[in-house]
Chains A and B, each alone.
Chain A
């Protein structure tokens, strides 16, 4: 094995010399010279490769987070539907799961991008959603929040409210543990989290307004534009992953013994209380580890963006930058390394959460 490795190393150095390509990461500070349409931080053709890297990583992350949230919501609904006593609901939920998870994600992506989004009308004939958002072949135009002076104080009030709510909840929980009775914490916490920023907003005369997009010439002005590539990726990823989340949720709910629910009912607990205090906490312990793996899989699947040219990390670096610099070794090491780091970070977070909710063996 050592012999193989050294042979590979000799080959690499020989090949690199022959190709005459530069080596090292110095290229990161050179001018990139290409545009990226979706950039969350300021970026232009004159920016460096390193800035392009940051833009691409942010694009990957924002796509993963949006898809993850939608997948979780739909997945939980479909998972509950799979356990529904209503035969029709059960059937539709089962059909959803068995259809979507047995069709390749790339094909679903083609469907959303080439069959649904690209044939949409031009902005002038765009589909209006309640007059504030518009869907056209240029993407989804949404109202954009515009902060005015004084908005910072509202955010500050929100932060203080959350902090106070946490302190109140904690101290009331301790009092309950000590004395056996304490007033409910959530009304006070809610008042703090919502009330403080609201009062500040009233005091500063609502320093935030929504900029509604409007048609001017052949395109929209104002608002924020979500590219069709992003919409297609988010739809395909979230609907596909939702079918796996649904199965995870169903397995988690199935793992709660029926006797627990019957016992809770015999004690006279209401069905809402049974869900909140008996079923969900126990099901979560079974759901969280596989759900974490599904989230990681969703993150890995964002790389399919290369198929429709959404500028994620793989597309920008594995495609454009690799072609421009010809430094395959360095560029691919950065791409692979970034995915490994994100993967490890999410895994660590999940393990930490898992330890918190896992069964405590006594």
Chain B
């Protein structure tokens, strides 16, 4: 077989042999491989044994009291609180609908067969959050009202992340456009606003939201902590998205603006019909990266005392009836880590795939 006839994708066997060869191709590599193999050989079997083989899977907390092995009993028994917080049991179906929208929308965006992903994505980010908020809060269309303070667990994490994403996206686009404005006042204000929010960390910003925002409002109005936190998240991530959009807008060649102008399009039509469709394709991977950051950021509401998914885990671990030894706590953290990791890793794969597609096209 000549080089030209060699298959483009080597078979599994070829790749395995190549992989093994790279591990022993030089004395240095042999030493490195041996060291790593020793390390993995020391850590991995114990981990598998602890996580799966000798884990406790039942529903009685006492079975994993002060014994060896992961305590998945904790996750099973506390499942309801982890997912719904103290959302009333009779209204769980509303939360389930919201989860279903998120899962179905995510699957539609990931699928290779479904077209019109732009419209689906736009609906998911712009229309689904307000509809979900209405559904979860109730008080209209005959739905019983549910206090926001009862939202918790994964439901709160999804609500907070969705609201932050839905608000930050238009805010970021507006800020990026303002930063390119020809009016010096607007441009300077936009730059100051963005740089302020990129320079101040999220947690001081949350403290500002909790303590300073109420001062700005008319006396007597006291929004819920969640509302204040959502505003802070939108401001913070809006600035981050503005920088992503700015990169995309800068990548559009000047000729595009000139061509649109020569066709007689006004500034608004140029933006909406010519520039933005191209810029959005460029910035999508960057926007997904901001979404990953938002998912990870939602955990810091622990500091404010909102019961998001991670806080529910932490609160469960500190409850007196679960003080049954280190293995319960380690299992709780491992489960939380796996959930966040799965979401963030999945999203980062989407971002990487879009990036690859962009490179092939461009």
Please report A residues at the B interface, Cβ cutoff 8 Å: 8, 11-12, 14-16, 18, 84-89, 92, 98-99, 101-107, 110-111, 114-115, 119, 299-304, 306-307, 314, 318-319, 322, 328-329, 332, 335-336, 339-340, 343-344
Number of CB contacts from chain A to chain B under 8 A: 139
Majority secondary structure of chain B interface residues (helix, strand, loop or mixed): helix
A226 CA / B15 CA spacing, docked (Å): 48
Contact mask for chain B residues 37-49; partner A; CB cutoff 8 A; 1 contact, 0 none: 1001000000000
**Which residues of B does A touch, CB under 8 Å?**
18-20, 22-23, 25, 29, 32-33, 36-37, 40, 196, 199-205, 207-208, 211-212, 214-219, 292, 295-297, 299-300, 302-303, 310, 314, 326, 329-330, 333, 336-337, 340-341, 344-345, 348
**Bound-complex Cα distance A231 to B310 (A):** 22
* Docked-complex contact B337 and A85, CB < 8 angstroms: no
Q: Which residues of A contact B344 (CB under 8 A)?
A: 101-103
Complex Cα distance, B332 from A347, in Å, reads 39
Taking a contact as CB atoms closer than 8 A, the residue among B36, B201, B345 that contacts A300 in the complex is B201
Taking chain A's interface residues, is the majority helix, strand, or loop, or is none over half, making it mixed? helix
Contact B202 A14 (CB under 8 A): no
Q: Decide if A98 touches B345 in the complex (CB within 8 Å).
A: yes
Q: Nearest Cβ in chain A — how far from B180, in angstroms? A: 18
Q: Shortest beta-carbon distance, A1 to chain B, in Å?
A: 9
**CB-defined A-B contacts under 8 Å, sample of 30:** A8-B216, A85-B22, A85-B29, A86-B22, A86-B25, A86-B29, A86-B32, A88-B22, A88-B23, A88-B37, A89-B32, A99-B341, A102-B341, A104-B297, A106-B300, A110-B310, A110-B333, A115-B329, A301-B201, A303-B201, A304-B203, A307-B300, A319-B207, A328-B215, A332-B212, A336-B196, A336-B205, A339-B201, A340-B200, A343-B199
Interfacial chain B residues near A87, Cβ < 8 Å: 18-20, 22-23
Contact of B333 among A99, A107, A319 (CB under 8 A): A107
The 8 Å CB contact of A306, one of B203, B330, B341, is B203
Q: Which residues of B contact A14 (CB under 8 A)?
A: 218-219
Task: Find A106's partner among B19, B37, B199, B299 (CB 8 Å cutoff).
Answer: B299
**B201: nearest residue on chain A (CB-CB)?**
A300
Which chain A residues lie closer than 8 Å to B205 at the CB level?
A: 336
Please give, as numbers and ranges, the residues of chain A lying within 8 Å of B345 by CB-CB distance.
98, 102
A149 to B333 alpha-carbon distance, docked (Å): 51
A339 and B199 contact, Cβ closer than 8 Å, known pairs A102-B341, A103-B337: yes
> Looking across the interface, which residue of chain B has its beta carbon closest to that of A308?
B303
Which B-chain residue is minimally distant from A297 (CB atoms)?
A: B201
Give the distance to chain A from B219, nearest Cβ to Cβ, in Å: 6
Known: A16-B215, A104-B299. 14 other contacts (CB 8 A): A11-B219, A12-B215, A12-B216, A88-B22, A98-B345, A103-B296, A106-B299, A106-B310, A107-B310, A110-B310, A302-B201, A307-B300, A314-B203, A339-B204
How far does the Cβ of A10 sit from chain B's closest Cβ, in whole Å?
9
Contact between A304 and B300 (Cβ–Cβ < 8 Å)? Answer: yes
From A14, A115, A322, residue with most partner B Cβ within 10 Å? A115
* Cα separation A101 to B219 with both chains bound (whole Å): 43
Q: Which residues of A contact B214 (CB under 8 A)?
A: 15
Q: How far is the CA of A329 from the CA of B216 in the complex (A)?
A: 10
Interchain CB contact under 8 A, B217 and A11: yes
Which of the residues A104, A114, A329 comes within 8 Å of B340, measured between beta carbons? Answer: A104
Point out the residue from B218, B297, B300, B329 that lies within 8 Å of A114, measured CB to CB.
Answer: B329
CB-CB under 8 A for A115 and B212, given A89-B33, A89-B36, A104-B310:
no
Residues of A within 8 A of B22 (CB): 85-88
Min Cβ gap B68→A in Å is: 15
CB distance from A25 to the nearest CB of B (A): 16
Q: Which residues of B contact A11 (CB under 8 A)?
A: 215-219
CB distance from A99 to the nearest CB of B (A): 7
Contacting A335 at CB < 8 Å: which of B202, B204, B297, B326? B204
Q: How far is the CA of A104 from the CA of B311 in the complex (A)?
A: 13
| B344: nearest chain-A partner, CB-CB | A102
Q: A231–B81 Cα gap in the complex (Å)?
A: 32
Asked whether A328 lies within 8 Å of B211 as measured between CB atoms, the reply is yes
List the B side residues contacting A343 at CB < 8 Å: 199
| Residue contact A303 to B340, C-beta cutoff 8 Å | no
Which residue from chain A places its CB closest to the CB of B337 in the assembled complex? A103
Instruction: Flag if A102 contacts B348 (CB, 8 Å).
Output: yes
A60: min CB distance to chain B, Å: 10
A322 near B199 with CB under 8 A, answer: no
On whether the beta carbons of A86 and B33 are closer than 8 Å, the reply is yes
Chain A residues with Cβ under 8 A from B200's Cβ?
Answer: 336, 339-340
Are B215 and A15 in contact, CB atoms less than 8 angstroms apart?
yes
| Complexed CA–CA distance, A303 and B300 (Å) | 10
Question: In whole Å, how far is B212's beta carbon from the nearest beta carbon of chain A?
Answer: 5
In the complex, what residues of A have CB within 8 A of residue B201's CB?
299-303, 314, 339
B29 to chain A: closest residue by CB: A86
Picked from B32, B204, B217, B336, the residue with its CB within 8 Å of the CB of A332 is: B204
Q: Which of A11, A87, A335, A339 has the most CB of B within 10 A?
A: A87
In the complex, chain B residues whose CB is within 8 Å of the CB of A306: 203, 303
